[in-house]
Structure 1
Amino acid sequence: MLKIPPHQVAGHKAGNGKLGPLVDESGRFYKPLQGDERGSNELKFYTSFSSDSRIPEHISKFFPTFFGTQLIEASDGSGLKPHLVLEDLSVGRDNPSIVDIKMGSRTWAPEASEEYIQKCLKKDRETSSLPLGFRLSGIQIYGNKESGYWKPERTSVQNLPAEEVKLILKRFVSSNTSTDMDMQPDCAFAATVYGGSTGILSQLLEMKAWFEDQTMYHFYSCSILIMFEKGLALEGQNPGGQIKLIDFAHVIEGRGVIDHNFLGGLCSLIKFISEILTAPSEHKSLVSSVNGVN
């Protein structure tokens, strides 16, 4: 039985006659294969990457498992359409807190059309992509059984300045419920989610070490998903913090050159996470642009 992903925070969403991804009960994620070069490019990447013996195992774990393609009924009612079949990254998680972070100060590949480049340039300039090297694409933060999720509109988090981005990343690991938007984030779970030998920061540093060396691919307009189980954190258990790299429609060959665009954004994100771990109590007041998305 196919259904709309309950924990999707960014990207094209199915429902109301719109084409979007679906999931099944077996833990597979069905992403519609776009009909232009973006679809063929993403399929090419997954096919190449999944069989590339040069990719070390400790790096391949950061990418969704690829199961090929399959014709299924599209979510918009348009009939059978080819879909990428991927690992459902939220499977097994009851109440995950998730943030989708689009990486790079430039989200367009050099081979893109002039029209597409101008469209991306406009968005990169109007959001935090240019100043920070990344932007928040979407987020959901689990509060508790009573409050449920805080899931603001994407546009309200995409163009936040540096201090407010850091504030959201603090709230992501706080015990404050999703309705307590006037309260300063307490960062109660920063150490257990971001810190530690297997925490988010450690995983980001592991990914960074590979990007400092790899010249096979340039990852334009890709996202890093950060996930953890708030419920487990509230119970004092391991929250299962995890990162995954997703969205590969604009990946191109590296041709022996380091991907400085992605690496720069990754270093910026690592700096933010490191500062939260080092001084979690330092913050500025929430501003109306964040308060207004309850």
Structure 2
Amino acid sequence: MSKKPFDPSTLQAFGNAAAGHDGVLSDESGAVVVKPCTASEIAFYESISASHPDLAPHLPTFMGQLSLSSSQPAATGESSTTVTVDGAIERLHGKKLDTELHIVLENITHGFTKPNVLDLKLGAQLWDEAAKPEKRVRLDKISAETTSGSLGFRIAGMRVYKGEPVPGTPEGLKESVEADEGSGYWVYNKMYGRKLAAEEVNEGFESYIHGQGKQGKELERAREVLAYFLGEVKDITKAFENKESRMYSASILLVYEGDVDAYARTKERLRSAPAGEEGDEEEDLPQLAAVKMIDFAHATWTPGQGPDENALRGMRSTTAILKDLLDSVEKEFHAAEEASRPVAASLFCSSV
């Protein structure tokens, strides 16, 4: 991402989150996300650069911390800039954390024209050892009734670009999907993923990856994006198989360019951009897709206790679903190619 300085005075409501808590902010450039956090989450990010640099490519870039108060706004961290936060904070999919402590991270959706975002919450056990008994009971109930228990992950939220005009919300999804007519998006809230059974979760991934349909260029994009997602999730899984940690309620965030025409333009631009061009620091190149691990409010290192099988199970289930979906898209893509060949041949023969 760009190394332009972060100006906390420009903070505003952030609108590209697929799931999460109230109170998420971004600067006017859109390059950073500022979100309420716990001290343990900051400690986890700080430990990455200090002791686990091999994990850094799989997490958003950590840029520091801020202390934000609506009554006495002030900032602490790498600069002494005073922060004034006014205006409404956009409601997302959870209650606002009761804290003034905020973490400053790279915005993973920056660099996309229309980012399609899928948040996968990992783990069958969703609480850490500090959780109160009533919280454990509530989260265990959610896990048992959703794919968190059966697959080790669930869809926590999605934002999928459909283009203009946005069709009406599908029947049966009124409580979990909202058509945002002004933006061209369908927004799938946390209830969408909670209602999916294990045998239905593929449908959620299909809704995400086929946001603009299954025509030739859409299938080509789906094929490329799924192959990239599969490789990245495998890499993340391998990296955390070699770590001794516990990451309750962490997520994998999948992002790709939702506007198929912008995707094609970006692909062409990236092909023509010289590798390591110095000018790239002045202006970030656009993106086609990204995969990162996020949400480490309940993450700790646990030497001697082995890898986090609770989270790894969800990663492996995600890998299997992505592989199945990629295989299906490959078949559709090649079938479409085969179907187009006789037409092209007949057109050629008729012109001779």
Query: TM-score normalized by structure 1?
Result: 0.79
Q: 1:28 aligns with which of 27, 32, 35?
A: 32
The question of 1:142 aligning with 2:161 is answered yes
Q: Which moved more, 1:262-271 or 1:21-30?
A: 21-30
Say if 1:60 and 1:281 are closer, same or farther in 2 by CA, change over 3 A: closer
Q: Measure the CA separation in 2 of the matches of 1:279 and 1:165.
A: 15
Q: CA offset at residue 109 of structure 1?
A: 1.8
Query: Cα offset for 1:176?
Result: 3.5
Aligned partner of 2:106 in structure 1 is 87
Of 48, 67, 91, which aligns to 1:71?
67
1:24 Cα offset (Å):
0.3
Do residues 231 (structure 1) and 259 (structure 2) align?
yes
Higher-helix-fraction structure? 2
Match of 1:11 in 2: 20
Judge conservation of contact 2:223–2:329 (CA < 8 Å) in 1: no
Gaps of 5+ in 1: 14-19, 34-38, 181-185, 283-294
Match of 1:205, SS state, is: helix
1:205 counterpart letter in structure 2: K
Distance, in Å, in 2 between the alignment partners of 1:235 and 1:124 is: 36
Q: 1:16 — aligned with what? A: none
Instruction: Assess, with a 3 A threshold, how the Cα gap between structure 1 residues 159 and 95 changes in structure 2: closer, same or farther.
Output: same
Measured after TM superposition, the shift of residue 251 of structure 1 is: 0.7
- The answer to which of 225-234 and 162-171 deviates more is 225-234
Root-mean-square deviation (Å) = 2.7
- CA separation of 1:168 and 1:8: change in aligned 2, threshold 3 A: same
Give the counterpart of 2:301 among 240, 253, 278.
253
Unaligned runs of 5+ in 2: 1-9, 71-84, 90-98, 167-183, 268-286, 332-352
Partner AA of 1:138 in structure 2:
G
1: CA distance between counterparts of 2:233 and 2:61? 19
Query: Do structure 1's residue 243 and structure 2's residue 291 form an aligned pair?
Result: yes
The answer as to whether partners of 2:112 and 2:288 remain within 8 angstroms in 1 is no
Identify if the C-alpha distance between structure 1 residues 235 and 31 changes in structure 2 by more than 3 Å, giving closer, same or farther: closer
Offset of 1:44 from its aligned partner? 1.6
Partner of 1:55: 53
Indicate how the Cα distance of structure 1 residues 233 and 135 shifts in structure 2: closer, same or farther if over 3 A, else same.
farther
Deviation string 1:235-293 (CA, Å, 9 cap, x unpaired) is 535362211111111112222311111111100000000001112499xxxxxxxxxxx
From 232, 237, 241, the equivalent of 1:212 is 241
- Cα distance in structure 2, aligned partners of 1:225 and 1:235: 19
- Give the % identical residues: 29
- How big is the shift at 1:60? 1.0
**Distance verdict in 2 for CA 1:176–1:89, change over 3 Å:** closer
**Cα contact 1:223–1:246 (8 A) shared by 2:** yes
Distance 1:231 1:141 in 2: 10
Change (3 A) 1:263 1:206: same
Moved more, 156-165 or 2-11: 156-165
* Deviation of 1:99 (Å): 0.5
Deviation by residue 1:206-240 (Cα, 9 ceiling, x = unmatched) = 1111122222x211110111000022466535362
Q: Contact conserved, 2:156 with 2:189, CA < 8 A, in 1?
A: no
The one-letter code matched in structure 1 to 2:289 is: G
> How far did residue 187 of structure 1 move?
5.4
Secondary structure of the residue aligned to 1:249 is coil
TM-score of the superposed pair, with normalisation by structure 2: 0.67
Out of 127, 131, 153, which is 1:112 matched to? Answer: 131
Query: Counterpart of 2:67 in 1: which secondary structure?
Result: strand
1:95-110 equivalences in 2 (<5 Å): 95-110=114-129
Equivalent position SS for 1:189: helix
Deviation at residue 46 of structure 1 after TM alignment: 1.7
